[in-house]
Amino acid sequence: MMRVSVAGATRVIVHQLTAIGAIDLRDFDPAPPREMRAMVTAIRHLGQAVLEAEWTEGIVLRYGALYGPGTSLAPGEEQFELVRERKFPLVGDGGGVWSFIHTADEAEATVSAVEHSRRGVYNIVDDDPAPVAKWLPALARILGAHRPMRAPRLAAGEAGAVLMTELRGASNAKAKRELGWCPAHPSWRQGFAT
């Protein structure tokens, strides 16, 4: 949590909840669906509380899958290495659409939200949501790895199957329009390559 004080009064509180638990696809042992539902319910409740707060202008930023320095989706880090070693499988049809955001773009969006505060919910993602069936093989090529192995939906468990086959992407149009923000990495394609 970061607090910026002006003349003794709190002007901005930024709370970034990012480590909400990961599904370890290496072991195909996803979090039980009940726990995932509880986590989503808690996140929604927190977002609603922020929006309804009368003492502040509540802003909720919903980040896409973070990649870049300090994340597991960075050169030499866990997720990239799993892809390189063919241990991050393409589950089912790979139709789940992921929205990504580079850490530098996430930071810039947060600053824009503070500077151009307007109550609301904003998706902080790049311009290129993509199904797993596109981004995972592309990442493997960028890393010089073989195509990802395939796994049936059943092997990933309910939560993993949803992430890999049913997830829907998000649009950043509102954030770009209302926060005056534009990602420097408009696509995961260029972002992963750098």
> Which stretch of 59-63, 81-85, 154-158 has the lowest confidence by average pLDDT?
154-158
- Amino acid found at 162: V
Distance CA 112, CA 5 (A): 18
By the 8 A CB rule, do 109 and 179 touch?
A: yes
Query: For position 23, what pLDDT does the model report?
Result: 38
Asked whether residue 7 carries a pLDDT value surpassing 70, the answer given is no
Distance CA 137, CA 173 (A): 27
Q: What is the mean pLDDT of the chain?
A: 82
Whole-prediction pTM: 0.79
Query: For position 116, what pLDDT does the model report?
Result: 84
Q: Which residues contact 93 (CB under 8 A, 6 or more apart)?
A: 133, 165
Distance CA 44, CA 40 (A): 6
From residue 80, alpha-carbon distances to 34, 56, 114, 173 in Å are 28, 39, 32, 29
Domains of the chain by start residue, with CATH: 2-193 (3.40.50.720)
Asked whether residue 24 carries a pLDDT value surpassing 50, the answer given is no
Query: For position 60, what pLDDT does the model report?
Result: 84
By the 8 A CB rule, do 117 and 165 touch?
A: no
Asked whether residue 147 carries a pLDDT value surpassing 80, the answer given is yes
Max avg pLDDT among 11-25, 86-100, 150-164: 86-100
Query: For position 10, what pLDDT does the model report?
Result: 54
Give the other-Cβ count within 10 Å of 69's Cβ. Answer: 10
What percent of the chain is predicted at pLDDT more than 70?
Answer: 79
Per-residue pLDDT band at 37 (split at 50, 70, 90): low
By the 8 A CB rule, do 95 and 132 touch?
A: yes
Tens-digit pLDDT profile for residues 69-101: 999 999 889 999 999 999 999 999 999 999 999
**Own/partner pairs, 175-181, CB within 8 angstroms, 24+ separation:** 175/61, 175/109, 175/112, 175/113, 175/122, 175/123, 175/124, 178/116, 178/118, 178/120, 178/122, 179/109, 179/112, 179/113, 179/116, 179/118, 179/122, 180/112, 180/116, 181/108, 181/109, 181/112, 181/113, 181/124
Distance CA 191, CA 43 (A): 28
Distance CA 59, CA 77 (A): 31
